[in-house]
């Protein structure tokens, strides 16, 4: 059982100056109980907290650390940029061309990209562009999907909003809310219904092609292709939000894995290598509408800054050179099989969903294919499971509705330790 005195003290102090003590709600341990742990250092697959406890990390800064924390090549590249280039210019720099070109090479549908500072900015900008391009107002998203905290997306949102039981947020105007329609994930008929009811008024359909903010929910075979066909028939812009699954489930993202090409793609997390980065891009005829070339305004003081681009570029180069994906798949299979054995031994029939190195163990026996099935999970049992893992030095997301991320630096010994801890935690969850 780790001793967490200093973390508890820091959290008490933080609450005086920071709302809820945290700079992002998902960090607050609200749904699992207890108080957040203050980390002091990250190294590879390990985190050390301010009380000196170490943890095996399966959160990876909520997705970016596919290569682990403080990868030596990324750290060295950052040091070089800091010493020899600078932190920001507010002018064009050569590195921006390098990352844009590389992204277009890696992701099948990208013809042009714009860099931003977060996934939220990427999705907000992509939707504005789709609206500007089509001259239509409404968008369709999917219940439980999370696309950052832009107003248009905080309607039946996933991730922290779902975890806190407040998937809709006050402060979003009625006008905005009524322009966001929610369909059911993996149910093409629910999308067709909304499209028909709002004929000629839908600018975009935005989807996480592997949903990762309601736990993990893979798109069913054919579902994404059906969305593509529908969008083509109706002149709707199809946006894949690959902020989480991009460069994670495959180098070219979910779109390369499933062979479905969106009009626009939003990116973040991994392409920032642990620094604040987002990007959106896609078809040239759409992207040419972005200012200053076109009339749809989008901007950013720090967009494309050298430090963030350095971390992103180095991450992408390593992913291309080392192709860690088969190895990530092997490791993820070990975890999945180990957890399955444990469940069997304990007579539990909980569901596991996984695409590559993104997975989720749901505390429900109902197959999880959508928001409605995800919320059948027993979050109390998950809370006990989470705390037992933590006590055993395993750090997973403090919510049932988040993904577990495996990185290239998790060793087979780490996985074995995790499988043992999973058994104990499953036992604890039933008490």
Ligand X SMILES: NCC(=O)CCC(=O)O
Q: Which of 213, 315, 359, 418 binds ligand PLP (CB under 6 A)?
A: 213
Per-residue x/- track, 55-74, ligand X (CB under 6 A): -------xx-----------
Q: How far is the CB of 348 from ligand X (least distance, A)?
A: 25
Between residues 213 and 305, which has the closer beta carbon with respect to ligand PLP? Answer: 213
> Between the CA of residue 334 and those of 186, 230, 313, 330, 373, what are the distances in Å?
27, 38, 30, 6, 26
26 binds, among ligand PLP, ligand X, none (CB under 5 to 8 A by kind): ligand X
Query: Would you say 296 and 132 are in contact if contact means Cβ atoms under 8 Å apart?
Result: yes
Total residues at the site for ligand X (CB under 6 A)? 8
Q: Which of 32, 45, 106, 244 binds ligand PLP (CB under 6 A)?
A: 244
Residues 6+ apart with CB under 8 A from 108: 252, 255, 256, 261
Per-residue x/- track, 142-181, ligand PLP (CB under 6 A): ----xxx---------------------------------
Total residues at the site for ligand PLP (CB under 6 A)? 15
Active site includes 241?
A: yes
d(CA 210, CA 217): 6
Between residues 45 and 270, which has the closer beta carbon with respect to ligand PLP? Answer: 270
Three-state DSSP class for residue 163: helix
147 binds, among ligand PLP, ligand X, none (CB under 5 to 8 A by kind): ligand PLP
Q: Which of 121, 208, 402, 414 binds ligand X (CB under 6 A)?
A: 402
268 binds, among ligand PLP, ligand X, none (CB under 5 to 8 A by kind): ligand PLP
Residues 6+ apart with CB under 8 A from 66: 60, 247, 248, 270, 315, 319, 324, 328, 357, 405, 407, 408
> Between the CA of residue 386 and those of 30, 117, 306, 347, what are the distances in Å?
12, 31, 38, 20
Closest C-alpha among 399, 412, 274 to residue 332: 412
Between residues 23 and 173, which has the closer beta carbon with respect to ligand X? Answer: 23
Residues 6+ apart with CB under 8 A from 319: 66, 67, 247, 251, 270
Q: Is 26 in the site for ligand X (CB under 6 A)?
A: yes
Residues lying near ligand PLP in the complex (CB under 6 A): 118-120, 123, 146-148, 208, 212-213, 241, 243-244, 268, 278
Active site residues: 146, 241, 269
């Amino acid at each position: 059982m780790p001793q967490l005195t200093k973390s508890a003290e820091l959290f008490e102090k933080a609450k005086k100056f920071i709302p809820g003590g945290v700079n992002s709600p998902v960090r607050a341990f609200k749904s699992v109980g207890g108080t957040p742990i203050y980390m002091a250092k990250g190294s590879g697959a390990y985190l050390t907290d301010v009380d000196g406890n170490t943890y095996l990390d399966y959160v990876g800064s909520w997705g970016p650390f596919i290569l682990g924390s403080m990868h030596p090549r990324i750290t060295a590249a950052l040091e070089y940029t800091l010493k020899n280039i600078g932190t920001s210019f507010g002018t064009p720099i050569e590195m921006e061309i390098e990352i844009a070109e590389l992204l277009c090479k890696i992701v099948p549908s990208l013809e042009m990209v714009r860099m931003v500072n977060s996934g939220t900015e990427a999705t907000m900008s992509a939707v504005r562009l789709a609206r500007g391009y089509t001259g239509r107002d409404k968008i369709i998203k999917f219940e439980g999907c999370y696309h950052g905290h832009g107003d248009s997306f905080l309607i039946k949102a996933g991730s922290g909003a779902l975890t806190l039981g407040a998937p809709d947020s006050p402060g979003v105007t009625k006008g905005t809310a009524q322009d966001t329609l929610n369909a059911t994930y993996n149910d093409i008929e629910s999308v067709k219904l909304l499209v028909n009811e709002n004929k000629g008024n839908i600018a975009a359909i935005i989807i996480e092609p592997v949903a990762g903010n309601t736990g993990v929910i893979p798109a069913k075979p054919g579902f994404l292709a059906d969305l593509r066909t529908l969008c083509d028939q109706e002149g709707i812009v199809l946006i894949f939000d690959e902020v989480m699954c991009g460069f994670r489930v495959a180098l070219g993202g979910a779109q390369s894995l499933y062979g479905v090409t969106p009009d626009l793609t939003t990116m973040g997390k991994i392409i920032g290598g642990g620094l604040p980065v987002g990007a959106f891009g896609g078809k040239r005829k759409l992207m040419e509408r972005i200012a200053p070339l076109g009339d749809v305004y989008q901007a950013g003081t720090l967009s494309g800054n050298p430090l963030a681009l350095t971390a992103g570029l180095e991450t992408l180069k390593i992913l291309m050179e080392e192709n860690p994906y088969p190895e990530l798949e092997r490791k993820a299979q070990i975890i999945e099989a180990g957890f399955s054995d444990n469940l069997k031994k304990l007579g539990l029939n909980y569901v596991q969903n996984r695409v590559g190195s993104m997975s989720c163990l749901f505390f429900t026996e109902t197959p999880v294919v959508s928001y409605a099935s995800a919320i059948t999970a027993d979050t109390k049992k998950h809370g006990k499971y989470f705390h037992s893992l933590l006590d055993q030095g395993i750090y997973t997301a403090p919510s049932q509705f988040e993904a577990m991320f495996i990185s290239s630096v998790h060793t087979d010994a780490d996985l074995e330790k995790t499988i043992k801890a999973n058994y104990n935690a499953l036992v604890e969850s039933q008490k």
